Amino acid sequence: MGLYKKDHLIFLAIFFVVLASCILILTLGLKTKKQKDIFVKVLGAFLLGWIILNRISLAIWKHNALELIPNTYCGMSSLLLGLFTTFGKPNLKIFSFLFYVEIFGGIATLFYSNFLLQGPSFWFFPTFSGMAHHAVGVIVCIILCMCGWFEPSVKRIHYFAIGMCSYTIFGLFLLDALHIPETMHIDSPIIPGTPIKWWFLTLFGTIAVAIVSYIYQLIKTKNRAKHLQKTNNGINTSPCD
């Protein structure tokens, strides 16, 4: 049990198989926009189910109903992303926040989880369901992009900062009103033994999102220009009647 032990490696292998299967289903089996939208909603419902099961298992294990409330960036993002993909529509503004928290937080947890030793085994349900909702969250984010539900945009960078500030305010409520510790990295560091907390994620996370969005749009603009040039060259070299 632990990072990169047998059970963890089995889980990662399953994750990559499921991810590849979802991509194959999408690229080879789903042709219409309606089919792709349904696929996104099914995956969103799957994510929603896993985060709910995770919170319930934590509440039962710790004998505390307050555990039903997500108090981490990833937990809250899995809940919201599940809700907004299941019941929402493409290109919602909130995706410009949830996408980045979910995919970066999910990948970090899949490969460097800090809660694998909390139970007797990797398959201890609070542990397994925690890994599962992170894994499904990453898959949902990838499928969102492939289905046209989300696209990085420089014009929407501010939604990430607004979202992080909203999480901090919610975290302060959980800390002060409900006395839930280790909430949104307000009272606990991201990396144990360092002073890096919520402010670091908010500040440098916004910068990282800005860089990713700018690079994406730069590549997209260049590819569009190349496509137009090829199209124009094809028209110019076509035989005349």
pLDDT number for residue 130: 96
Structure tokens at 216: 């994406």
Averaged pLDDT, 107-134: 93
> What's the pLDDT at 188?
84
Residue 34, H or E segment? helix 33-62
With a cut of 50, say whether residue 241 has pLDDT above it.
no
Percent of the chain with pLDDT over 70: 96
Q: Global pTM?
A: 0.91
pLDDT at residue 235, as a whole number: 63
Rounded (10°) CA dihedral 25, 106, 150, 84: 90
- Find the range with the poorest average confidence among 56-65, 71-80, 204-213, 223-232: 223-232
- Whether residue 181 is predicted with pLDDT greater than 50 in this model: the reply is yes
pLDDT at 119: 87
> In the chain, what are the domain boundaries?
1-151, 153-229
Taking the CA atoms of residue 158, residue 98, residue 7 and residue 190 in that order, the dihedral angle to the nearest 10 degrees is 40
Arithmetic mean of pLDDT, 178-191: 87
pLDDT at 124: 95
pLDDT at residue 1, rounded to an integer = 66
State which H helix or E strand residue 106 sits in. Answer: helix 95-111
> pLDDT tens across 64-105, in order?
999 999 999 999 999 999 999 999 999 999 999 999 999 999
